[in-house]
Structures are given as structure tokens and as C-alpha cells.
Structure 1
Amino acid sequence: MNLRPSGSSEAKQKKFFDYSLMFIVIFLVCFGLVMLYSTSSYSGQVKHGDPAHYLKKQLAATGLGIVAMIAISKINYHFWKHFALLGYISSIVLSTLVFFIGREVNGSKRWIYLGPISFQPSEFAKLAVILFLAYVISKSAKSMTSISGMIKVILLALPIVGLVGKNNLSSAIIILGIAVVLIFVASPKYKQFIMIAGVGIIFITIFLSIESYRLERLKVWRNPENYEKGYQTLQGLYAIGSGGLFGKGLGESMQKLGFIPEAQNDMIFSIICEELGLFGAVCVIMLFLLLVWRFMVIANNAKDLFGALLVVGVMAHISIQVILNISVVTNTIPNTGIILPFISYGGTSVSFLLAEMGLALSVSNGIRFE
């Protein structure tokens, strides 16, 4: 199949729609719902008197997200250029409002409550940054050959990184990572990119040093057995180790019975390892790799730079978040409190992730082949 941007006779060309990407996403979402119920049924029964409590809430958010994905996939992605700046400003406003009207949950003020509906502005900020930076870079692609152009993009991302990072370090790292990946893709000069990356590392180091509790995480990471806060990490490692090659079987986890706090959130990958073993964990990782591959195919064949950068931004978001989550669960890096895309419990996250998938599908829909 010869994919190429539209330019020859439209009569000889057909639309392309990446059904492979859509099927992978649907499979991940369905698998996530199964694992969520398996992981959270005990906690749901104990805390809410309903083993399907978390599943029902996730189903509602997933349904909303699928509707958004389908609707966005049918809209020409250039339409969203008109909302790039508005989305960027809105994300700054919402991230600021968290400090004043946000509700603290588990020691972190990350949620805004509108009646019975809870909302995490950091998830909206990720989508807003992808859209805004893709628009800015595509409008001034030539400036990306200079270090001043790269710095401009980083400076545009820093206000949101700082606001989100105050209460949600992992999301701030993801947003900064998205900006860095977009710069890397758009810039032909790697030496300047390395300089910018170095500045980013220095910024992150200073940011980590501002709050003492972040430095404490480094101590807990190195010796989790010596700290009370290392309990969750140790229990997660026990779950991974006890799963063996093929696991104990779906629903047979012991660690989810109150040993791992809030297992349905950040630590759900450890329950996958316990119930489905190394085989199940590798299959999950392979699914995410297939997802990244489809993003690369779409980005490489997108008909313009804006579409390619949109898909690269979504790819960066998913990739960084998966790497961070699995690294935290396996204690490869300090705990940052990040969920596994499409699988962990989180209504705001799955809704916006599916909306991002809609953007990628919309770009794929713009590809033409003979």
C-alpha cells in the first residue's frame, strides 16, 4: 500500500482510516476494565459495599471517552487550530484554580469538584499542550533550527509545568517530556537539542529540591524497607515476584486484598503480574508497543507538519506515562504517582486519553493512498 499526502487526482485516491489503532485502543480499554474489576472488587466491597463500584464509574467515563474519540475522529483536525490558544490559556486557568478551589485527596490537591463530578485539570493540560505546541511549532517550523526557537517552545510549556508540578510531579514531567519530544522531532540540529535537554534536567533538579518531600522519595526509593512510605512499593514487588511465569490466575491475587493500598490506581500493573504472570505483563507491554508503532505510521504519512506533530505529541504522552508507571511499580525510579494508560482507574484520564486517540485517528483519516 502506497501512502502519501494528497496531491494527485482525488478521483484515484481513497481515504485511509487506521482501524488497527482503533482496535488496539478498544482492546486495551476492555482489558483495562476486566483488570480493574479484578483488582478493585475487594476494595469496592469493603469501602462502598459494591464490588463493581469502581468499574461502574470507569465504565461511565470510558463511554464518554469513546463517544468523544469517535466524534473527534470524524472532524478535520485542522479545525482544532482555532482552539489551540484558548485551550492553552484554559489549562493555565484551571491549573491555577486547583490551588484555590481544589479538593485534597490522599494528601494531594489535584481535583476540582463540580457537584458529583470530579475533574483533574492536569489531564486536560496534557491535551492542551499537545495541541498548542503542535500549532506553534508548525507555524514557525523554520525557527526550530535555532536555539532561540527551541527555547521559545520550552518557555511556553514551563508555566503549565510549574503549575501542575506543584501538586502533581508526574504529570509535570509528562508535559515537559511532550514538549521535549516535539522539539526533537521538529528540529534538525541535535546539538542544540542536547543543550535544551540539559537545561531541562537542571530545571527538574531544582524543582525537585524545592520541596523536601520530593527528596525524601529518593531515600524511600533506595531503601523502601526502611521507610513506612516504602510499604506500597514492597507489596507491589511481592505481587510481581509471586506471579511467576503465567501468574496465579485472573482474580486470584492476594496482594489486592488490602495489602497494596489503592491497587486499582498506580499499582495495577503489579496485580497484572501477579494474576497473569510475566507472560501477561509482556503482552501488555507489547500492546503499548503496537500502539506506538501505529502512531509512527500515521505521523510518517500525515499530510502536513501540524498533523504529524499532533500524533507525535499523543505518542509521547502515552509512551512517557507507560514508562513512568512500569518503572515506578518495579521500583526502577522513585514513586511519582502515575497511572497506567487505559488500564488504571481514573475517569478523567481515560476520557482525555480516548479524546487524544480521536485526534490521531482524525490525522489518519486525512491520509490518502492509491
Structure 2
Amino acid sequence: MKALFLKYFKGDPVIWTVMIILSVYSLLAVFSSTGTLAYKYQGGDTSHYLFKHSTIMLAGLVITYLTHYIPYVFYAKISRILFFASIPLLILTLALGTNLNEASRWLTLPGGVTFQTSDFAKLALIMFLARILSKSQGDMRNWKTAFRPAMIATCAVCLLIFPANFSTAAIIFVIAFVMMFIGRINIKHLLAVAGIGVVLGGIFIGIIMFKCDLFPRGCTWKSRWLSFIGKAEDHGDANFQAEQSKIAVSSGGLFGKGPGNSSQRNFLPHPYSDFIFAIVVEEYGLLFGAFPIIGLYLFLIYRAGVIIRKAQSSFAALLAVGLTFSLVFQAFINMAVAVNIFPVTGQTLPLVSMGGTSIFFTSVALGILLSISRSIKESENESDTAPATA
């Protein structure tokens, strides 16, 4: 069985295993948490969302499988095209995108399918930065070679995402910053960026606190922050979500209530996406829910570290850094929100939350990571089978 698996599923088997186990958690949690949704929109057919989500998860697995067979160097070749295609898509989303909670985050495609362009832009930017930084490794002292184009690209994407989705813009900026640090950008330049970021962030927070209606979602951001620090004047939506999530996590205890026995799924606004971790902990507890999921993401970091150390090129290493950090950083932010050690952000839990766009782009990211791993293994096998020379 193992030999058959390794024959068709190349790359790091641990990453494949992590993906499959997270998918199982996802199916169980989504089935449990969509009951209210099913009774509201599907006449009580609780299997509707399970079937839909299973189809999306299977499609994601197929995407990963196909992607991991494409040589990773191909992504360097198309990175510019993808990046420059993402800019007009983000502009189009701001102008004509589907609005939800005063935020325009989705483009509606023919057939009524919604597409979150920020996920596409994030993936395209990671590829583009890996290409820029890898090509500039021999001339890192010249700030015009790598730092300037990398910052222009990052700021362009973040500024276009920021009005509708502050948390995603901030996450993308942090990902880019980490990639530039690993990519050996001059530390003075990075410290200058960090300093400017702190100053601008302070000014922005001050504006939001005193005049939140200057931004389309400013009052939502203010409400979430005040709720997080415990100074909200009323029991707003953000405060309600955080409280219900804390109840779910605390009531789960060590062993949980058992599959399908969540009570907070009926109170949390988005138990199948933003707060799915809280449902997992409530039903499976710390021992069978929280710790295994955290461990799986940590395993992903570890295996990605092995891939990065063995990578055959700086592009492969930087691409692996960006993709892995993106997935794990988002995962830990989602889990931090669920246990109320971070303000509500609306970020999903990769490979666990319900949502087609998120699952598909996560699948592509893991497929690329497996492609890099596959290339390393093939190179090692060629070295092992090469005839010795006298």
C-alpha cells in the first residue's frame, strides 16, 4: 500500500498526510456546524453542505495532485504574468465586487460562482517576490535591484486589498516582510520599513478611534478592537462572536463533548468558517481537537524547513518559505481569534474552514511545495543511482 501511494503521490509523504488529516477534521466539523444553515436555506437537508464541501475538498486534492507534477521552475516563468493579472482583478473587485458587511471582497463569475481575488493576489505576490529576490542574490547591496521592486509590488497589492480587508492586507505585508528578510534584503531597509509601518499604523489607529467613518469599514475595525481589549460600549457583533467562541472552547475541556454535540454552533455567526476551530475544540476537546491540529501545522513547518534546506535553488527555497509561512501564519491567527488572544479578523483556517476559494488556493500552495519536494527527491535518487567514477 505504501509503495503504491509513493508511486503516484510524489514529494514529502508527511505533507500529504497532514493535508489528508486536516481534510478529515474539516469534513467532520463542517457537517456538524452547518446544521442551522441547512435548516435556514436547504429545508433541513443537512447532507447538502457536506456533499458540497466534500466535492470542494476532493477538487482541492485533485488540484494539489496536478500541481505537484508541474516542475516548480514553471512558477518562476509565470510569476510576472500572474502578478500583473492580479492588480486589475483587485481594482475590479473594489469597483464592482460583491459586497458583504460593507466589504467588497469577491468577484462574481458566470454561474453565480464567487471568487476572492485577494487569495489569488497573495499567491501571485509570493511567486513574484521569490523570483525578484532569487534573481538579485548576487547584487543585494543595490536597493534598486531587489528592495525597491519588492516593496512596490507588496504595497500595490496591500493598498488595493486594504479598504475591504484590512487583516488580509496586513497578513500579506508580514509575509512579504519575512520573505525579504530571508531573502537577505539589507536589514537597514527592513528596519526603516518597520519604523514607517509603526508610525503609519499608530496614525491610522488614532484616526479610526476618533473618526471611524472616514473609512468604509473603519467602524467595524474599531468595534473589533474595542471588543478585544474589553472596552466595547455595547454587545456588538465582534464582542458576541468572541464570547460565543470562548464558551465553545472552554466547554470542550480536555476530551470534548463528542462529534456533532456542539451547542455553540447555533450561536456563532460563522461556525463553519471563521470560528470552525472553536467548534472542533468544543466537540473533540484539547486532546483530540486543538493539540492535533496545532501539531499538524507545526509538522508542516518542520517538513517545509527540511525542503528549504535541501532546495536546489534560491527561488525554490524562497517560494517554500513564502507559501509555508502564509498557510501557517494564517492558521495560527485563526486559532488565536478563536481563543480570544487576537481580535476578530475573518481569516479562515486553511484546509479546515468551509470555502471554495480558500481551499483551492491552499491546495495550489501545497501542490507547489510538494513539487519542490518532488524535485529534491528525484535529484537525490539520480545521485544515488549515478555510476561511480574512478
Q: Given the two structures, how large is their TM-score scaled by the length of structure 2? A: 0.85
Q: Tell me the SS of whatever aligns to 1:104.
A: strand
Match of 1:66 among 61, 65, 71: 61
CA distance in 1, matches of 2:140, 2:195: 17
- The residue number in structure 1 matching 2:102 is 107
Which residue identity is paired with 1:200?
G
Tell me the distance in 1 between the aligned counterparts of 2:170 and 2:52. 27
Following superposition of structure 1 onto structure 2, how do residues 121-270 of structure 1 map, counting pairs within 5 Å?
Answer: 121-145=117-141, 149-187=146-184, 190-208=187-205, 209=207, 211=215, 212-213=218-219, 214-223=221-230, 226-229=234-237, 230-257=239-266, 259-270=267-278
State the partner residue of 1:57.
52
Letter in 2 for 1:159: A
The aligned counterpart of 1:6 is none
| Residues 35 and 272 in structure 1, CA contact (< 8 A), matched pair in contact too | yes
Choose the corresponding residue for 1:325, options 319, 330, 334.
Answer: 334
Residue 24 (str. 1) matches residue 35 (str. 2): no
Kept in 2, the 8 Å contact 1:112–1:119? The answer is yes
Report the count of equivalent residues.
355
1:248-299: per-residue Cα shift (whole Å, max 9, x none)?
1111010112x11121110111111111112121111011100111111111
CA contact (8 A) 1:37 1:52 kept: yes
- 1:163 to partner: Cα distance: 0.7
Q: Is the 8 A contact 1:295 1:315 kept in 2?
A: yes
Q: How big is the shift at 1:199?
A: 2.8
Q: How far apart, CA to CA, are the structure 2 residues paired with 1:225 and 1:250?
A: 36
Q: Distance in 2 between matches of 1:170 and 1:54?
A: 27
Residue of structure 2 equivalent to 1:285? 294
SS in 2 for 1:119: strand
**The 10-residue stretch of structure 1 (148-157 or 37-46) with the greater mean CA deviation from structure 2:** 148-157
SS of 2:34's equivalent in the other structure is helix
SS at match of 1:256: helix
- Post-superposition Cα deviations, 1:23-82, rounded to whole Å, max 9, x if no partner, equal 211221222111111111232223322213332332232222222211111111111222
Are the equivalent residues in 1 in contact too, given 2:248–2:264 (CA < 8 A)?
Answer: yes
3-state SS in 2 of match to 1:293: helix
**SS at structure 2 position matched to 1:366:** helix
Tell me if structure 1 keeps the 8 A contact 2:147–2:185: no
Note if contact 1:112-1:118 (Cα within 8 Å) is conserved in structure 2. yes
Check whether the contact 2:223–2:236 (CA below 8 A) recurs between aligned residues: no
Residues of 2 paired with 1:91 and 1:188: CA distance? 24
Q: What amino acid is aligned across from residue 127 of structure 2 in structure 1?
A: L
Q: Which residue of 2 aligns with 1:4?
A: none
Aligned to 1:45: 39
Correspondence 1:354 to 2:363: yes
Q: Structure 2 CA distance, aligned partners of 1:362 and 1:354? A: 12
Amino acid at match of 1:273: V
Contact 1:61 1:347 in 2 (8 A): yes
Give CA-to-partner distance per residue, 1:199-233, whole Å, 9 cap, x none.
33334445554633223321121125843221111
Name the Cα RMSD after superposition: 2.1
Gaps of 5+ in 2: 1-9, 209-214, 385-390
Does residue 313 (structure 1) correspond to residue 322 (structure 2)? The answer is yes
Instruction: Give the CA deviation at 1:150.
Output: 3.0
Task: Give the secondary structure class of the aligned counterpart of 2:104.
Answer: strand
Query: Distance in 2 between the 1:231 and 1:83 partners?
Result: 44
Q: What is the rounded CA distance, in whole Å, between the counterparts of 2:64 and 2:203 in structure 1?
A: 38
Percent of residue pairs bearing the same amino acid type? 34
Contact conserved, 1:177 with 1:320, CA < 8 A, in 2? no
Which whole-Å CA distance do the structure 2 matches of 1:312 and 1:128 have between them? 14
- Residue pair 2:34, 2:49 contacting (<8 A) in 1 also: yes
Higher mean alpha-carbon deviation, 52-61 vs 140-149, is at 140-149
- State how far apart, in whole Å, the 2-side matches of 1:331 and 1:105 are: 24
Higher relative contact order (CA 8 A, sep 6+): 1
Shift of 1:128: 0.5
| Per-residue CA distance 1:302-338 (angstroms, 9 max, x = gap) | 1000001111011110122012111211221221111
